[in-house]
Amino acid sequence: MQYAFILGRVYTLSIAELLVVLQEELVEHEIPYKILAVSIEALVIETEKQLDHEKLQKRLGGVIKIVKIIDVVKKRPQDSINFALQNYFKPSKLKKDFLKEYSGKKQFGVSLYLLDPSIKGFGEPKRLGMFIKKGLQEEGDSIRVCLPDYNSLSLASVVVTKNLLLQKGAEIVVIAGIEKVYVGKTLVVQDFEDYGRRDYQRPIRDEKQGMIPPKVAQIMINFAHLSKNAIVLDPFCGIGTIIQESILLGYKAYGSDIAKFAISGSEKNLEWFRNRYKISPGKYKLEVSDVANVSKVFKDEKITGIVTEGFLGPMYSSFPKDADIEKNFKDLKTLWLSAFKEFKKLLPKGGRIVICLPCYRKDTDDYVPFPSVDFITELGYNIEDHFLAAHKKLMPFLKLTERNSMIYDRKDQVVAREIVTFINN
């Protein structure tokens, strides 16, 4: 069986998370898988097991669609995508393998993802969609096609959802390489409405502190490699995003923060969250505490992993002065040295700390990162590299820092987040 995972905007994070989850869901259950193709847009695998795509999609913050591959069509390097598929999409094939049975007017969409930047895709989804529509109409079918916007090759998950494509027909997905074209249909898309609800409908929000989005919180939690009955600690919990996402993934979660107003906000948000998602009592605990005392506050708890955005220092609307950056890094080093000494007292051997370090963006892919973290590794931690050497060879497009960490940012942010995973030795 072959599946494709359509990746989010920060594709390096998406791939790293996917590799962690596939390891836990497949490899650790002695079910091998093989990566068939990968690009900044999609990762295609082959495995013996039928995937629980609904469960996987809910767990993966960095994957926007999961696709079942129906066929692989050969393609000559000089051929256009539509030329390679000109004899493939016959009405009988579409009805048998792609389109869902529906009594009313069927609807389908077409999305194209590229495995190589040299492949020309402009206009291909429209031509392919109109060709499919014409063939079905000639068979007497009532059909509507949903196509990407002019400047895009693919449909966003919101478009797939709002047009009910998975209920009334299908989203047909074409993943094109130089010599192969993977053709499939979307099984599930990311629930953008629920992510928005968990982010924007909470009673308390504090945008001045640059809140981490729920999707990124999910990715970080997955990086912690937590067992089924794990307890997650966020010692800089703010308004509780990592706490709520940990609970939603099935873990218990404890949070602390030095600011009483932050804990108050967390309590209000988590009470809303518990009622909205019908969470049973006892899944979380909150305490007001300086991180320097966190081992005393939670001394009787079996903390499995620590996942936190941490304190990033001041937020900026424009690039700060060098002196300000230097001072921020100096202050944070003092804070983190104290924190990681405390974490050592709480974590079991092999336990992970997934944390955000501030990274100041000058321009696209040009950052001033936190300087050396030797003061942390000297305490007995290793930085985890989420990619094997074989992965890096297969994916030369990965965006990794010199310490093999990954950066998450948004266009409107000066202070980006460098996501680093430390392992307690």
Q: What's the pLDDT tens digit per position in 234-280?
A: 999 999 999 999 999 999 999 999 999 999 999 999 999 999 999 99
Q: How many CB atoms lie within 10 A of CB 148?
A: 18
Check whether 140 has a pLDDT greater than 90.
no
Check whether 102 has a pLDDT greater than 90.
no
What pLDDT does residue 344 have?
97
What pLDDT does residue 210 have?
55
d(CA 61, CA 18): 9
Comparing C-alpha atoms, which of 52, 86, 60 is closest to residue 8? 60
Cα dihedral sign, 195-196-202-207 = positive
Check whether 44 has a pLDDT greater than 80.
yes
Comparing C-alpha atoms, which of 249, 325, 332 is closest to residue 283? 249
Q: Which domains does the chain have, with CATH numbers?
A: 2-190 (3.30.2130.30), 198-424 (3.40.50.150)
Q: How much of the chain, in percent, has pLDDT values that exceed 90?
A: 93
Comparing C-alpha atoms, which of 285, 247, 251 is closest to residue 266? 285
pLDDT class of 211 with cuts at 50, 70, 90 = confident
- The pTM of the full predicted model, rounded to 2 decimals, is 0.96
Whether 209 and 262 have beta carbons less than 8 Å apart is answered as no
Averaged pLDDT of the chain: 95
Sole residue written with tokens 């696709």:
67
What pLDDT does residue 208 have?
62
> How big is the chain by its Cα radius of gyration, in Å?
23
Q: Six-digit token pair at 64?
A: 């926007």
Comparing C-alpha atoms, which of 15, 418, 64, 59 is closest to residue 251? 59
Residues 6+ apart with CB under 8 A from 398: 12, 15, 387, 391, 392
Whether 319 and 360 have beta carbons less than 8 Å apart is answered as yes
The residues facing 256 across adjacent strands are 287
Whether 107 and 98 have beta carbons less than 8 Å apart is answered as no
Phi, psi angle pair for 292, to nearest 5°: -70, -15
Q: How many CB atoms lie within 10 A of CB 299?
A: 10
pLDDT class of 343 with cuts at 50, 70, 90 = very high
Query: What is the average pLDDT across 276-302?
Result: 95
d(CA 110, CA 187): 14
- What amino acid occupies position 12? T
d(CA 236, CA 342): 13
Check whether 382 has a pLDDT greater than 60.
yes
Sole residue written with tokens 């390891």:
23
Query: What is the average pLDDT across 385-400?
Result: 97
pLDDT class of 207 with cuts at 50, 70, 90 = low
Better-predicted residue by pLDDT, 343 or 104? 343
Residues 6+ apart with CB under 8 A from 82: 124, 127, 128, 131
Whether 59 and 190 have beta carbons less than 8 Å apart is answered as no
The strand pair at 284-288 and 252-257 is best described as: parallel
pLDDT class of 209 with cuts at 50, 70, 90 = low
d(CA 241, CA 407): 19
Whether 186 and 67 have beta carbons less than 8 Å apart is answered as yes
Q: How far is CA 161 from the centre of its chain?
A: 19
pLDDT class of 290 with cuts at 50, 70, 90 = very high
Residues 6+ apart with CB under 8 A from 287: 254, 255, 256, 263, 297, 298
Rounded to whole angstroms, what are the CA distances from 209 to 10, 110, 183, 214, 244? Answer: 21, 39, 43, 15, 18
Phi-psi region of 164 (alpha: psi -120 to 50; beta: other; left: phi over 0): left
What pLDDT does residue 151 have?
87
